[in-house]
Structure 1
Amino acid sequence: MSTTNTIYVGNLDQRVTDTMLLEYFSPMGTVSNIKIVAMHRNGPFPSVNYGFVEYVEPQAADRAIQELNCCKVLDYEIKVNWAQQGQQLTKEEAPSHYQIFIGDLAPEITDDLLTQAFGVFGTMVNAHVMRDTMSGNSRGFGFVAFREKADADQAIASMNGELLGSRNIRVNWATQKSQSDTPPPRPGQQLPYETVLQQTPNYVTSVYVGNLPPNTTDNDLLQPFQRFGFIQEVKLQADRGFAFVKLDTHQNAANSIVHLQGMNINGREAKLSWGKDRAPSGYQSGYNNTGYNNGQQQQQQQQQQQRPQSNNWRQDRN
């Protein structure tokens, strides 16, 4: 292990898991290894953990230090810096917990409710709902960890499709091993989540997927996108090489753009960006993060409102 590719992450909330840490640090570049070290201290103050994140490229590690130091994760501001010589990060030391993914979570589901639902399956270690770092709103999915694989298997078999709160949830392994899975992101391929989130107004939940081969099917898109939220609609024009995938929330759509950028679909690297949705009634223009001034934004919205209702969320790209 080279310390030039490895960063130290301190002041970690004890609820932070390997998977959660990957959510925060993978947008900076390809992560090759993650380790969290649990700390248990006696005294009046709550214990915090620390960990290490190893990247393929040192540039990604430097970027993570610049952008994520003092970022608030759950209840604590994390400390991110270069790992010191002698600090070890080996795959053999990584926790052996079995992580499962919980999708289509209703907005009212909390960590406690998720714990209650999955705590009946033996060796559950923790349960966590992923939330937007700015708004605190649920991102529509979460993770549950088990010490024993048999308990994770039972949870998947028993809970997939079951009603939790106001929605039927999807339950599967957090890390798929099949060849059809999305490959890990490459350095420089992703923009930070917060950057993508602010590129369009909050009412936009549609993702444009380009560079598709003619043999693309709806299932080729459903499989990777369903990990990030409830899919409301897929509009595929394989003969023209693109599709639009509409998710349930702006946050889930942004997360899919970050993590699915460059995914392999039948031999081609997909190009992802924001689609176009119709502004809700009464929406006030003046949103400047898209690169439009107020007049341009208002004109664009008026043009969108003149489109037929059946195509009100889609804008074809040539």
Structure 2
Amino acid sequence: MAAQVAVANGGGAGPAAAAVAVVPAPAPAAPGGVTQPLPTTSLYVGDLEANVTDSQLYELFSQAGQVVSVRVCRDVTSRRSLGYAYVNYSSPMDAARAMEALNFAPLNNKPIRVMYSNRDPSSRRSGSANIFIKNLDKTIDNKTLHDTFSAFGAILSCKVAMDDIGQSKGFGFVQYEKEESAQSAMKSLNGMLINDKPVYVGPFLRKQERDNSFDKAKFNNVFVKNLSESTTKDDLVKVFSEYGTITSAVVMIGMDGKSRCFGFVNFESPDDAARAVEELNGKKINDKEWYVGRAQKKSEREMDLKRRFEQSMKDAADKYQGQNLYLKNLDDGITDDQLRELFSNFGKITSCKIMRDQNGVSKGSGFVSFSTREEASQALTEMNGKMISGKPLYVAFAQRKEDRKAMLQLNSLRCALYQ
């Protein structure tokens, strides 16, 4: 059974908002016909084009009712748009009408995404009634995804993940108002065809839950390495069969006919495989310390290595937190040695580097690391804003990408709180 979805082609909008016909929306009725007030007058507006202004949003959303306030959230330092905004109405009815009429409306030639503002981070991150969809056709956009999944209940949030150039990554998320709607959507659409592609529809898992799921996955196939060159298939069978029934075993052989010193053992039972890994990993056999672990696909190995690398980088960054300074607005002619000389009065410098492009040209930025936090703090206080080669130097504590992202989120939270 195929669920073919037609992609809607919205008309382009000029610098200002496109005119949108707004139809009055009745308030939802409870059983017995009693009208229930809507819970909020505040809307979240996402997927904004970078140049959208407060006045454009005010003009567009005023078509639905009396707008109390509009604010495009911006970076505190650069004042660049963060890609979303909040619109507040005086009436819940107006907010409901705007969400119904303006969701996916084009603004500066880009469809916007409108939903009720949810200021409770715990509910947003809980994953409740939230589903994950992958193997989406690249032509499917937010509106198409919304139209497809809205048949199962009221949707709070709906988004197709996009890359840096605005192309679909082939997966997305839908959060329903009720868990029953999410369960119904998963049951009905998992494995179905959307635009001739079978899609996976399952529960959304937070990163920590995905990591735990990955670590605890059941497996039958075991990888073993650091074998001695004389170890044979029969030797593997003899060692591993003590832990359960083996369906296959192999020692990998190179083009020269010699052992590549690693192999695979497949168990009939995942429990037996797990026990073999637990008891044999790190054990010395024929003067060789074996590594024994779950056999992984290439993609899984790469994911595992990436996680380990990111963790090691985090540990290193945490170790030197507050000792590493980031500099920018440096004159292009300044060298590493000159930079070291500029900061040497503040303490012992452990590393000092100007960032350069592939042609060796300075990017105007760099890093200086001190042996103690106190030295770095003094250098920051005295050097930030100081004129160097006719340019004011910018100095700040260096931050990891995750920390910068957290700061952006904090800035956006502040923006939301002061609506």
Q: Same fold by TM-score, threshold 0.5 exceeded?
A: no
Largest Rg, 1 or 2: 2
Q: How high is the TM-score relative to the length of structure 2?
A: 0.28
Q: How high is the TM-score relative to the length of structure 1?
A: 0.35
Higher relative contact order (CA 8 A, sep 6+): 1
